[in-house]
Structure 1
Amino acid sequence: MARMTKVRAPISIDTALARIAGQVDGGWEAMAVHVGYQPRTVRAWGDADRDEHISLRAAILLDVLFQQHGGTGAPLYEAHGDMVTAAQAIAFADKLELQRETIAFMQENTDAETALLELSLPDAGPAEEARAQREMLQVRQKADEILTRLGRHPP
């Protein structure tokens, strides 16, 4: 029976470890010696289905080993940061969406302010008034959208 290869997630400890193994002379074996573990343990740190996890000390040592072998960056440190950012995006999705809606509201409000200023000029006419009305209605629509969102999450 053919052995199935696990798919390596692009942002993962597994990918970071593989990047280090590819850079370091001696690969997995050298990494294991450097941190004082068996090669199978070092490989297991990247397997999300296993209970073994890399320690902070080992992660630091391996990132520095990577750099000592000419690597640029710190794969484990970067992977950790990317994983935290991804988790934040999930945990704070509502906040990020509110931020996007707020930016859109601010843009609509700026457009409305500009249209109102243009309407206040001496040579303004029906076209400027129509634009100001349209822009004000768009501000109202965005404000209503945000108020609806705020109503879903009472204080």
Structure 2
Amino acid sequence: MTKRRDPLTVHQALTVIAARIGWDKCGMLVGRSGRLVRMWSDPDADSEISILDAMRLDRAFIEAGGDHAPILRVYSFQLDIAASEGATDMTRAAAAAAKESGEAVAALLDAALHPQDPGALRRARKEGEEALAAITDGLAALDRQEREVH
């Protein structure tokens, strides 16, 4: 049975990397066994990946055709969530995320239709960044709510 790995965790990012390059190659790249790297992806294991090994695996993922650095992305999102001072009310956070995401999608479609228009490209980037910020605020509000409940 496959163990559940929460989104936005290093555990889940490691499984994304291994799906592309394989557990054994992951182990070879960091000078460890594939089994140990698989343990790093287990949320119940005590063993954790080092920052240098994370960098090596992210780099290998990109070199194998990946479009981002999975562990870096998780780390970056986690820092953004921790630092967010966004909306505390889940309803407001969800509404803002929906609004900003819709505007981002519309701007991306406009940029796709007008790829030579620098203004359309700038608006798409701006709207995308605003959508990411709103979603990050929503995740931070969710984290605060979970802490209050537990």
**Given the two structures, how large is their TM-score scaled by the length of structure 2?**
0.53
Q: Distance in 1 between matches of 2:35 and 2:83?
A: 31
Q: Counterpart of 2:9?
A: 12
Matches of 1:15 and 1:68, distance apart in 2? 19
The residue number in structure 2 matching 1:78 is: 73
TM-align CA RMSD: 2.2
1:30 aligns with 25
Given that 1:12 and 1:46 are in contact with CA atoms closer than 8 Å, whether structure 2 keeps it comes out as no
Separation of aligned partners in 2, 1:87 and 1:40: 31
1:33-52 equivalence runs, <5 A: 33-52=28-47
More contact order relative to length (CA 8 Å, sep ≥ 6):
2
Q: Deviations over 1:68-97 (max 9, x none)?
A: 1111110010011122233345xx57xx54
Residue 36 and residue 12 in structure 1: after superposition, are their counterparts in 2 closer, same or farther (change >3 A)?
same
Structure label with greater radius of gyration: 1
Unaligned runs of 5+ in 2: 93-150
What is the aligned length? 90
Aligned counterpart in structure 2 of residue 54 of structure 1, from 24, 49, 62: 49
Question: What are the Cα deviations for residues 41-83 of structure 1, in whole angstroms up to 9, with x where unaligned?
Answer: 1011122221111100000000000011111110010011122
One-letter code aligned to 2:7 = P
**What percent of counterpart residues are identical?**
36
